[in-house]
Amino acid sequence: MSRRVSPGLRSGSLPLLVALMTLLAGLALAGLSGIQSLAEGWSQAARSAATIEIPTDIPNASDRTEALVHALKALDGVTNIQKLSTDKVQDLLAPWLGQPVGSHRGLPGLSLPEVLIVAHTRGIDLSATVHDALPEAIVQEDLQWGQRLERLGTSLTGCAWLAVILIAAIATLSIGITVRRSVAAQKRAVDIVHSLGAADLTISSHIAGRAALLSFLGGVAGLILLTPLTTSLATTLSPFAHQSALPAAFPTTLDGWWTTLGILPPSLLKELGALPFIAACLGWLTAQGVVLVWLRRLP
Amino acid sequence: MIRLRDVSLKPAGVGQPVLHSMTLSIPQGEFRWLLGPSGAGKSSLLRLLTLGARPASGQMDILGTSVTGASRGALRNLRRRIGFVPQDYRLIGEWTVFDNVALPLRLRGRSERDIRQEVFSVLEWLDVAAHAHSRPTILSGGEQQRVAIARALIGRPDILLADEPTNALEESQARRLLSTFQELIDLGTTVIVATHNESLVREAPAQSIMLRDGTLDPQAIAP
């Protein structure tokens, strides 16, 4: 026989409500994780690259360019040097110069520069080496772009966190309203228990315990609802993942599904796994607060 | 010991006090009838004494605790020492009879084994043990009243208050209840019973508290 000391929580809608909130929070977290990864990747790539433009109408351009490439390769921290082909440069400049006519490259009277893309570790200064070897060359560090991308990434991450916080706030409000309604519906029973000498905490803990359980179940249901979406996200991300034996399409077996989920960042999986527990804590705390405030009305 | 000095009760949202300047003192282990016409303030006084409301003014001491300035914790502890049989029984319909009656003991942290023994003992004495696992809503008025009496008695309260506790009982059951009240008084419990039943009052003569229009009628505080 259960040890009844207080009315519980009567709410069939609470698990459904929490399930939907968990689904939304999961989507926001997945978006957040994606944004963070992309922003980090872009920023990293941009911060560790430099573009060197070498005019071709200078004396001994070809030899001096080769000398510059050798000098750059000798530098500590330079990881790769890519010399763009004339066609590639033409393609890059096409929006400004137009498409080439016949075999002519660039504009009449204007030759296309040689372009070197230098990948390097962060913190290295290429300018001195470049100007020593080829003072006519122009060095464009992509650091600025990296900073801009980082700022963009930070603001998008902030938006995603704001969405998560808003969802948590709406969930708290909804749980609070549900608990409040349930307590009001059981006002008589609560009054009776209170009049017999039940402590406020006894009553509130009983109701909060039930709210936590229902919120946890709702959180688990929300995760189940979220699974097809996370699997789909993982399938979309699979071409970018550096893993062997990646599934090519939406998984149809449990093993395939498990492998696909493995593509997702471990931090995201941990956050998603924590959602039912967070929902339970939120449910418990909200119910405690609402019931304790409600009980203050009683003498 | 119950002591009221110049106590008034004014429920929220009500313009006039429902009890005015009430002063009375009931020593521990005594019995009082609470009498008066309908609307005289009997239920309000019982509400005050069961700590369902705090006095608007005056001083009220119950079992040596000043209710007026008592903390919530102190009031909670006092409530556990007061048994009450309300006129409308106030049973929790969703719970079984057993759970309703066991509640005061559970709130005191008693073991389930003791609770089971005591609950069945009091339910058997009141002839409702067969309904222990039923919900009170399916019981008759008299049976519900006996369940409410069982809940009030089970904690062996220091003060027992009852609002028309015999109105749904048969005569023999009412007499039995009165003898139980007498046993409790002998054990040191203060018992106050509000009733309209004049034959019952005649059968068990005792001091009475007579109320009229929310005030105490001093002439009536006598056997």
Residue type at A63? D
Q: What is the pLDDT of residue A219?
A: 94
Please name the member of B75, B99, B104 whose beta carbon is closest to the beta carbon of A196: B104
pLDDT above 90 coverage of chain A, percent: 20
pLDDT band at B79 (very low <50, low <70, confident <90, very high): very high
Q: Does a structural domain hold residue A238?
A: yes
Q: Does a structural domain hold residue A51?
A: no
Nearest CA-CA distance, residue B199 and chain A, Å: 31
Q: What is the ipTM of this complex?
A: 0.89
B99, closest residue in chain A (CA to CA): A4
> How far is residue A60's CA from residue A121's CA, in Å, rounded to a whole number?
30
Same domain, A171 and A35: yes
Same domain, A189 and A65: no
Nearest CA-CA distance, residue B85 and chain A, Å: 11
- Cβ of A4 within 8 Å of Cβ of B95? The answer is yes
- Cβ of B50 within 8 Å of Cβ of A1? The answer is no
For B216, list phi and psi in degrees, rounded to 5: -85, 135
Tokens of B119: 């609950």
Q: Is B104's Cβ below 8 Å from some Cβ in A? A: yes
Is the four-CA dihedral A159, A164, A167, A173 of positive or negative sign?
negative
The number of distinct structural domains making up chain B is 1
Q: Which domain holds residue A116?
A: 56-136
Q: Which domain holds residue B118?
A: 92-155
Q: Does a structural domain hold residue A5?
A: no
Same domain, A190 and A254: yes
3-state DSSP assignment of residue B128: coil
Q: Does a structural domain hold residue B139?
A: yes
Same domain, A178 and A275: yes
Same domain, A88 and A185: no
Q: What is the pLDDT of residue B223?
A: 46
Q: What is the pLDDT of residue A76?
A: 81
Task: For A70-111, write each residue's pLDDT tens digit.
Answer: 888 888 888 888 888 877 877 777 777 766 655 555 566 667
Which chain B residues touch A191 with a CB distance below 8 Å?
90
Residue B100 has pLDDT above 90, yes or no: yes
Same domain, A277 and A202: yes
Task: For A11-41, write each residue's pLDDT tens digit.
Answer: 778 899 999 999 999 988 888 887 777 777 7
Same domain, A172 and A108: no
> How far is residue B20's CA from residue B31's CA, in Å, rounded to a whole number?
23
Strand partners, B216: B211
Q: Is B63's Cβ below 8 Å from some Cβ in A? A: no
